[in-house]
Amino acid sequence: MNGDGKRLPVEAGPPRGSPSLPRKLAGFGMLGLGLLGMVLPVLQGFLFLALGLFILRDQYDWARAGMTRLRMRFPRQIEGVEAMEARLVGWSRRQGERLRRLLP
């Protein structure tokens, strides 16, 4: 909910991939580090919470709602992170194709 008491829109959409155990572990691990970072002065809690939500946004509705809130608050930064994700996915696909060509 925002300050007016209205519910924030949640981007609907089917999950892009099947939830994998490593992705869940990474996402929940980031959320755990974020919670620790909220009380420990040496960790950046908000950064780890945002990364955890980013990783889990395709598998869980509550994470997607959290990302929607972050997108409304920090639109330019979220767009930058999503663009970086797209570049990394493209790079990893190109590397996989190169390996398939090199290996018989």
Whether 68 and 35 share a structural domain: yes
pLDDT for the residue numbered 14? 45
Whether 26 and 51 share a structural domain: yes
Residue numbers of the chain with a pLDDT score lower than 70: 1-19
Distance CA 9, CA 25 (A): 27
| Parent domain of 99 | 75-104
Residue 33 backbone phi and psi in degrees, to 5: -65, -35
pLDDT for the residue numbered 30? 93
Whether 58 and 33 share a structural domain: yes
CB atoms within 10 A of CB 79: 11
